[in-house]
Structure formats: structure tokens, C-alpha cells
Structure 1
Amino acid sequence: MNLSLRRNPTARTPAVLVALALLTTAGCAGNDDGPPAATTASATPHGYVAGAQESAEQQSRLLLSDPGTGQTRVLDLITGKTHRTALRPGTARLTTDGRFGYFHAADGTHVLDGGAWMVDHGDHVHYYRAAIRDVGRMSAGAGARVRSDTALTAVTGEDGRAVLHARADLEKGGVGTPRTLPGTYAAPVVPYAEHLLTLAGDGTSAPEAVVLDRAGGRSVSLRVTCEDPAGDAVTRRGVVFGCADGALLVREDDGRFTAERIPYGRDVPARERAVSFRHRAGSDTLTAPAGDRAVWVLDVTDRTWRRVETGPVVAANTAGEGAPLLVLETDGTLHGYDVATGARTARTERLLAPRRAADNGASGPVLEVDRSRAYLNDPAGRRVYEIDYNDGLRVARTFDLDLEPRLMVETGR
């Protein structure tokens, strides 16, 4: 396989690893109660994970798939190298929970350990890299929705039935034996705050936000409904469910769960609703197409919606507070918008061939965003662009590939 990596002279290079490693170690190992304890050969270092190498910076990787040929690749954004993985023909969707890639097909969902992830301890973060490996196949089909936390992976099928997989099984390289939850649900089951959040109902009225225990028993009924649910996202402020009148935020504070509506504040036609959210992992700012020529930006912290008028939208995303709204438009150019004013602040030359506006489908160009870069896949051009969105949308690197990357997700976050 030939891989050509074209690098801008001012492209990002890895941080000064030694200095960062020292800072990270100091932040994790500090002891205010006296001198540090003596270490022994048998002591387990803080943050140690068997079989993984801890790193001082985020270990971002892109999982790529060409459904037409079944080819898949993992692109390591630190080294610029690609890794071949097993053929996955018939993949209709590709999703991730930050570490594992889920290749959704009619015959089931195939799981790939991307070998890069992070663990957030609140006041500090650990970054890890390990071997890339196939994990196995889950029985859920192409429409399955997978949501995870550090302990559980919940898989909700198109029929509303959900099963739970132990995260430890996936980390060991197998899917394990799933546990089926009772009943059916109108939204994905989301592991959150040692519970499960979802929307439930009997089909005769708008579903209600519920909190389940880990066995699937009803723990709390929040007595708040969500009409015509579509779209969800996990943020630091809680779990967001998209509803006909806006969004519903379910959060936990000191063991108490609450649900709060975040309405659009205007009448929004069904075709202009936010039905599929995209955001930077860990961010509280969500984006979604608002029809063909605008983008919704939901600030979960301020509980506000803002509609940004753009050109015809193919894909959109943002890194969050202070960062531009990134919009790929149908002419193949990438645009940056100031979220507060709606003014366009930057524009690239044409990067992709012209195409139709987004239809909220699973295939086609997407924008993946992390703390300093955005990634745009170009299926027809067989490449991925790395964009420095803080420098006028400068193309920092271009990764030439030997497949059409029609599906793409970023892991290591």
C-alpha cells in the first residue's frame, strides 16, 4: 500500500513529551500528607493499564471504511501511518465511543479496538495507546445505536430492545455475553452516572425520560416527556435528547437526577429540526443541520439555541466555546462562522467535489473535531484533510489513502 503524507511546513507536531510527561506524573502522584511512599517493584503505578502504553498527549486515530469494497484502515494521526484491518463488507454506518469502532451492517455490528483512548479523572487526564485488534461481532443490525461509559456498553436496536455488554469484556478482546434489558425504548439507552438514561413509553403518547438502574429496573421517573425524539449526545452537563420542541437535558447532581427542557423558542418545521448532533468529545456545544441552509448550535451550558445562516450544508461541527462553527458546503469549500454573530470568518479553496446538501445520512463527508484540529474525509479524492481551525482553516496535513474513506470516526478522545 502506498501512503503519501503531504505536510504543511507549519503543521502540528507532537508536544514536548518529556515536559508533559513530568507534569502529568506530578499531577497524578502528588501527596500533600508527607513525603512520597517508597516504591517497590510490585507497586502498580497510578493510571497503569495492562497491555497499554501511557502517553503525554492525546493519541488520536481515525477509523476509515469503504463500504463498497469492505476495506478498512486505522490512520494514526501521531505517526501518519495507516494500519490494515479486517474486511468489513456491507458496512452501512460507522460509529465510536472514543475507543472502539462499531461497523454496523445487516448481519450485525462488528467491533474494532482502535487502540487509542483517554481516561478523564476530572482534574487530570490519562492518554493510552495499545495494539489495534478485532473484538468480535454483536448481533444488533445496521440501525443499532451504541452508547458507553467506563463500565458498560449499551446497544439499542431499531426495535427498541437493548442489551448491555461489560466494558471489561471488550477491553479484553471479546464481546462477552450480553444481558438483555426488559421492555423497549424510544431512544438509545445511555449509561450515565452509574445508571441508564433513556426515553420510555407505551406508544400512545410522548415517551417519558426515565432513569434505570444497571439491571434495567425503573429507578426514577422524571415526569418529563419528549415528543418525537431524534438525536442524543453526552456532554459534561448531562445527556441531551432531541425533541420536537427542542432538547431535553437529563443530568445528575449529588445523586439526584433532573430533566430540563431547552426549547427552540420559535416554531420550527419538522424538516428544520435538529435530529442528529455532532460535537467535540467533552464539549458542551452541539451542532446539527437546520434544514438545507443553516446550522443549529446548542449551548448546553447556557441552555440556548442559535441558528446560524450558512450556505447549503453537507457537514458541520465545532470544538466548542470560542471556536468557529465549521461548515462544509455543497460547493466543496469549508467555511468558518462566528457562532455569536453568525458572520463568516474564513473560507478555504475548494477541497472536495461539489455534492448535494446533507440528508442526515451516515455516509459521505463528515467533520471530526478535537482540541486543535478538524478532520475532513474526501471519499472521491481518497484522502483526509487535517484543518487548523484556529489559523484561518489552514490545511495542515493531507493524508493520501488507498481506499475511498466514505465512513470516518476519530478515536483516542
Structure 2
Amino acid sequence: MRSSSPTRRVALLGALAVFTLAGCSAPAASAPEPSVDTHGAIDGATELAEPALGLTSVDADGRVTHLDLLEETTTEIGEVRVPTAVHSDGRYLFVADDEGVSIVDSGVWTWDHVDHFHYYRAEARVLGDVDGGGTATVATSNSSTTGGTGLFFPASGEAVLLDTEALSKGEIVERFRLDRSSGAGLVVPVGSFAAVAAGDEVSLHTADGAEAGARTPCVDPAGTITTRVGAVIGCRDGALLVTVADTGPAVERIPYPEGTTAPRATVFANREGRPTVAAPAGEAGIWMLDTRERTWTLVPTAEPVVQATAVDDKDAHLLALTPDGRVLVLDGETGQLRARTEPLVGASLAAGRPVSLLADQQRAYLGGAEEGRLWELDFADGARVAREFTPATAPLFTAETGR
């Protein structure tokens, strides 16, 4: 087991064959360190008038492909090890297996300036690997050019913070690697800090690994997501919300409503950056956590759900996946059913295979490994199937990128 170490740079693995995305002719170049005035731009990237939305997938053999949703063309990016889990921040895919995490840059991203956005396209490529023991949990911020990305390896108990700005230059740089006890854990980036959840407590750290405040109890940490308000860490009795102010990082506890018997939230999902997030609560319904109001709401559902994601728009759309593979469109305040699909991914769920349910402001995307298909759903129009794609290789994991 390795102890806390200084910044280490992991060399890119050999000469990578670079596949540019459809319509992209940007050169492969190292980027200068961006300043706060670059609006998320890096050298070699092209700024676009609209987001270059796509679906980036990894199949069961580790092949990585990108489907351009505007051009409806598919580009091969490269190969990684066979994945057991995939996490994405809307640009990068962090492909985990028992040996570590492979990092894929989809080459498309959105820079959020709060009141407006900037959209970019650069080269798509496999950046390299970060070694670690056991399938890592991955936590990202809402920025793909600044801050950090957290990895926690459960078998080795290693907590790693990567430099996300370095990733935007094609480099894998570890800001810290700390030893913790093996088992479940999280490394959650928050501004220029990170929270490490392991061993029934959360510690705060600067980017170089030094502790930055008192430790906070968190029994059985599981599940994390970053909203516009701050970073969420799931605990047995509720959630911790980690924010950063002028005085440094702060931790607030958001307990479950008194007397609740519903299963706890362990997997959070939402439209990226929005303050409200959703998590399945077994047969009891869906937990909604409003990070702005610091409140939990249990939304009842007429049937059990296995996945849920909050669109958090003006119409309070809430999406859920049933055990038989249907997508439900619900009222996020009452749980009232608004629409439902046919059982599109029932075979994948029955076989215990991964299913991806993703949402943006206007569409939802569904992918099933067993079905070998990707669906675009108009959730505001009766869950209508707007488009259906049949990739050349069946996607095992899919992420929406460019948002």
C-alpha cells in the first residue's frame, strides 16, 4: 500500500492513434495553462455556437465509440480494459475495473459561466490509466477544465485526487494519494479542496492532501453528486453537503425526515448541475434532495423503481426506470405518472446487465447492453421515442457528452 505522495505524472501509454470526432479538424497540441478569463477554452479546441452533444459508449470488449447526435455519425476513439463501471462528468469517461481506471476524453464539453455557456470541441482520445486495487468509485465536479476528480479504490483503500486541468491538456496528474482502510469510500472534489469519505467519517483536504478542517461522522458513506450548490455525500442517516466559502470548506448535515422507514439513498442522479437530485428508495418511491433548500422529500411511486434522475426543470420532470425496463415520466413533486414507455430494456435488467438512463434539458437517453440499442426519448411529449440507434457494437456503458 502506498502512502501519501507528491504530485505524480502518469505517462501516456505509447503513441496513441488519435481519432477526431465527426467534423473536427482541431490539431493535437499541448495547452498552455488556462486563466480565469479563457471561459474554459484550451489550445487546440474549437469554440462552437451550440453544444456538440453525443453519446460516448464502451462495449463489453473495451472498445470506445462516440455517436454525434447532430450528425448521427459514429467515430471510434480507442480501446480500454473491459469495464465493470463507468462514470462521466460530461466530457471524460472514467472506465473502472479491478486494476484501476482508464480515462477517455470525448473531446466535447460545455463551460458553465452561470448566466451563459461556452461550447468546445477538441480531439477525442484515450488518455491513459490510473492504477489501484478494486473497482473505483469516481466523483467529479461540474468543470472539465479546472478543479479535481476523485478516485477511491476499495480493495487497496487508496484515495486519489486527479488534477482535472491537467486532464484537459492530455496529462494524468495525481494531486494526492492517501492511504485509508479498505472498503467503501469516496474522494469528492469541492472547489480547490476535496472531501475523503472512508471509515465512517469525512475529512477535508487541500489539493496537496493536507487536512483542512475537523472530521465529520458519516456512517456507511455511499453515493455522491455535485450540484450548483455543492457536493453531496450519502450517509446512513442522510447526506452531507460540502461547500466552499471565503473561509474555506464547510460541511452541513441534511438528515432524513424524522420517522422515515424508506431505504436510504445511495445512487444520486440529475440533469447536470441542477440543485435537486433523485435517488431510488426501493418500493417506497424516490428520494428527492433539494440542495438549495437542504431538504429531503420522499416522492411515492405506484411501482418500484431501480433508477431515477431529476430533470429539475420548471415542470418538475422526474424520470424513473422500472424493473421490467420501462421509463416512467413522473411529476417530481407528487409522483403522479405523466407517461411511460414500453419495456425497452427489460432483457438487460433481467440478465443483470448495465442500463444507462441519462437526462438533459430536452431529452432522455436510454441504453441497454443486452438490447444493443440506444434510444432518445422526448420526456415532455409522452415519453415519445424520438430516435433509435443501433450501434455496430452493443454499448455496455453510455455517457452523454458535450453537455
TM-score range, shorter chain: 0.7 to 0.9
Indicate which of 180, 186, 189 corresponds to 2:187. 189
| Structure 2 counterpart of 1:258 | 250
Q: What is the letter of the counterpart of residue 177 of structure 2? A: L
User: How far 1:386 moved relative to its partner?
Assistant: 0.7
Provide the C-alpha distance between the structure 1 equivalents of 2:189 and 2:400, rounded to a whole number of angstroms: 21
Q: What is the letter of the counterpart of residue 191 of structure 1? A: P
Indicate which of 345, 356, 372 corresponds to 2:338. 345
Indicate which of 55, 59, 65 corresponds to 1:62. 55
| Structure 1 counterpart of 2:240 | 248
Provide the C-alpha distance between the structure 2 equivalents of 1:182 and 1:104, rounded to a whole number of angstroms: 19
User: How far 1:111 moved relative to its partner?
Assistant: 1.1
Superposed CA deviations along residues 74-118 of structure 1, whole A, max 9, x for unmatched, are 111222111123233421111112211111122321111101112
Provide the C-alpha distance between the structure 1 equivalents of 2:111 and 2:100, rounded to a whole number of angstroms: 28
| Structure 1 counterpart of 2:282 | 291
Q: Is residue 330–residue 337 contact of structure 2 (8 Å, CA) maintained in 1?
A: yes
User: How far 1:139 moved relative to its partner?
Assistant: 0.8
| Structure 2 counterpart of 1:319 | 311
| Distance of aligned partners of 1:355 and 1:78 in 2 relative to their CA distance in 1, 3 Å threshold | closer
User: How far 1:304 moved relative to its partner?
Assistant: 2.0
Q: What is the letter of the counterpart of residue 194 of structure 2? A: L
Q: Is residue 323–residue 390 contact of structure 1 (8 Å, CA) maintained in 2?
A: no
Q: Does 1:93 align with 2:93?
A: no
Provide the C-alpha distance between the structure 2 equivalents of 1:266 and 1:46, rounded to a whole number of angstroms: 44
Q: Does 1:171 align with 2:161?
A: no
Q: Structure 1 unaligned runs (5+)?
A: 1-43
| Structure 2 counterpart of 1:139 | 131
Superposed CA deviations along residues 14-46 of structure 1, whole A, max 9, x for unmatched, are xxxxxxxxxxxxxxxxxxxxxxxxxxxxxx986
Provide the C-alpha distance between the structure 2 equivalents of 1:258 and 1:163, rounded to a whole number of angstroms: 21
| Distance of aligned partners of 1:48 and 1:183 in 2 relative to their CA distance in 1, 3 Å threshold | closer
Superposed CA deviations along residues 223-242 of structure 1, whole A, max 9, x for unmatched, are 54222211111111111111
Higher relative contact order (CA 8 A, sep 6+): 1
Mean Cα displacement is larger for which, 148-157 or 283-292?
148-157
| Structure 2 counterpart of 1:23 | none
| Distance of aligned partners of 1:175 and 1:253 in 2 relative to their CA distance in 1, 3 Å threshold | closer
Provide the C-alpha distance between the structure 2 equivalents of 1:404 and 1:292, rounded to a whole number of angstroms: 31
Q: What is the letter of the counterpart of residue 128 of structure 1? A: Y
| Distance of aligned partners of 1:410 and 1:217 in 2 relative to their CA distance in 1, 3 Å threshold | same
| Structure 2 counterpart of 1:6 | none
Indicate which of 38, 44, 56 corresponds to 1:51. 44
Q: What is the letter of the counterpart of residue 86 of structure 1? A: G
Tell me the secondary structure at the aligned position of residue 102 of structure 1.
Answer: strand
Mean Cα displacement is larger for which, 251-260 or 371-380?
251-260
Q: What is the letter of the counterpart of residue 374 of structure 2? A: V
Provide the C-alpha distance between the structure 2 equivalents of 1:105 and 1:224, rounded to a whole number of angstroms: 30
Tell me the secondary structure at the aligned position of residue 173 of structure 1.
Answer: coil
Q: Structure 2 unaligned runs (5+)?
A: 1-36
Superposed CA deviations along residues 326-368 of structure 1, whole A, max 9, x for unmatched, are 112123322111121121111223323356589xx8x521211
Q: Is residue 318–residue 326 contact of structure 1 (8 Å, CA) maintained in 2?
A: yes
| Structure 1 counterpart of 2:197 | 199
Indicate which of 387, 397, 400 corresponds to 1:407. 397
User: How far 1:267 moved relative to its partner?
Assistant: 4.4
| Distance of aligned partners of 1:214 and 1:47 in 2 relative to their CA distance in 1, 3 Å threshold | closer
Q: Does 1:381 align with 2:371?
A: yes
Q: What is the letter of the counterpart of residue 382 of structure 2? A: G
Structure label with greater radius of gyration: 1
Q: Does 1:216 align with 2:206?
A: no
Q: What is the letter of the counterpart of residue 387 of structure 2? A: R
User: How far 1:406 moved relative to its partner?
Assistant: 2.2
Q: What is the letter of the counterpart of residue 398 of structure 2? A: M
Q: What is the letter of the counterpart of residue 272 of structure 1? A: P
| Distance of aligned partners of 1:183 and 1:349 in 2 relative to their CA distance in 1, 3 Å threshold | closer
Indicate which of 107, 110, 134 corresponds to 1:118. 110
| Structure 2 counterpart of 1:305 | 296
| Distance of aligned partners of 1:104 and 1:183 in 2 relative to their CA distance in 1, 3 Å threshold | closer
Overall identity of the aligned pairs, in %: 38
Superposed CA deviations along residues 26-69 of structure 1, whole A, max 9, x for unmatched, are xxxxxxxxxxxxxxxxxx986643111111222222221222x3
Provide the C-alpha distance between the structure 2 equivalents of 1:357 and 1:278, rounded to a whole number of angstroms: 22
| Distance of aligned partners of 1:352 and 1:314 in 2 relative to their CA distance in 1, 3 Å threshold | same
Superposed CA deviations along residues 123-162 of structure 1, whole A, max 9, x for unmatched, are 3221111121111111135521333451333322213322
User: How far 1:325 moved relative to its partner?
Assistant: 1.1
Provide the C-alpha distance between the structure 2 equivalents of 1:125 and 1:196, rounded to a whole number of angstroms: 25
| Distance of aligned partners of 1:92 and 1:356 in 2 relative to their CA distance in 1, 3 Å threshold | closer
Q: What is the letter of the counterpart of residue 126 of structure 1? A: H
Provide the C-alpha distance between the structure 2 equivalents of 1:84 and 1:131, rounded to a whole number of angstroms: 12
